[in-house]
Amino acid sequence: MSSGQFFAVVGVLLFVSGLGGAMISAHVVRRILALNVAGSGVFLLLVALAYRGQDAVPDPIPHALVLTGIVVAVCTTALALVLAVRLAQERTHE
């Protein structure tokens, strides 16, 4: 098993575990964290698919997509956490 295949398998496992955690958990923050784990699995899978071998240069397009995806994931996580805090505040006022 090459390192590219290993990282692809780990990426799929991260995605599946994150998706399972998002479906099982009832707490909002845990769901957000589980979706972040699933997103990290997708990023790892994309980087693993860009691997072409020891001597070959990896494909730069998936790396650029992953870098952009990380920035978007941080922004959406911040927004989701703010919305979770607002939801908790609304529930305590009722």
Q: Do the Cβ atoms of 37 and 18 come closer than 8 Å?
A: yes
Which one-letter DSSP state was computed for residue 26? -
CB atoms within 10 A of CB 71: 10
Domains and CATH numbers, the chain: 3-91 (1.10.287.3510)
Please list the pLDDT of the chain residue by residue as tens digits (94 residues): 788 889 999 999 999 999 999 999 999 999 999 999 999 999 999 999 888 877 888 888 889 999 999 999 999 999 999 999 999 998 887 6
State the pTM of this model: 0.85
- CA atoms of 25 and 31, how far apart (whole Å): 6
Structure tokens at 40: 């990290």
Nearest to 80 by CA among 9, 30, 38: 30
pLDDT at 42: 95
